[in-house]
Amino acid sequence: MIKLFVVKCFRQLSYDKTISSLTEEEAILLSFYDENGQIKLPSGGTLHHFMKYRLGEKGVNEIMMLIGEKILKLSQEKEAKIDSTPLEASRYDKHADYNPHYECKMDKAHITMVGTYPIFMTHTKGLSGDSPELIDHIEALKNMNANLEFYSADRRL
């Protein structure tokens, strides 16, 4: 299930679409088969329950730190950058901030990238900048034993 969660994150799909997007080969590689070799996939709801209640936020964050550490170890990149991306809010979210630059109600994901790989992310309200998130991102890089020569931010920091 943890491997399937990683697939969901990298494909950026819903729980149900993650399950329906798996090929037979991928299902076998993820060990979703019974003793007779029949493919047995969990439902999207089962994956969601596993993520939210079994792993929880702390467990998910620990897994993502391990993945980030592995990416850093395998990568030849010596440069990282932080940038934020808008996460448009649901129309039902009464607490989301309106961001005049993006002209929508939103939250933000602040993401540290090494090459094309996201290795750490924090989530904030829609009007937040990257600056307050830098310390958490630098601490995460230190905890991942990052061997970087350069860490940059976008010009609006």
Q: What are the extents of the domains in the chain? A: 2-69, 75-153
Q: How many Å apart are CA 126 and CA 77, to the nearest integer?
A: 30
pLDDT for res 155: 60
pLDDT of residue 127: 85
pLDDT in tens, 35-65: 998 999 999 999 999 999 999 989 988 988 9
Crossing angle of the two packed helices 2-11 and 56-74, in degrees rounded to 10: 70
User: How many Cα neighbours within 13 Å face the side chain of 18?
Assistant: 22
Q: What is the pTM of this model?
A: 0.71
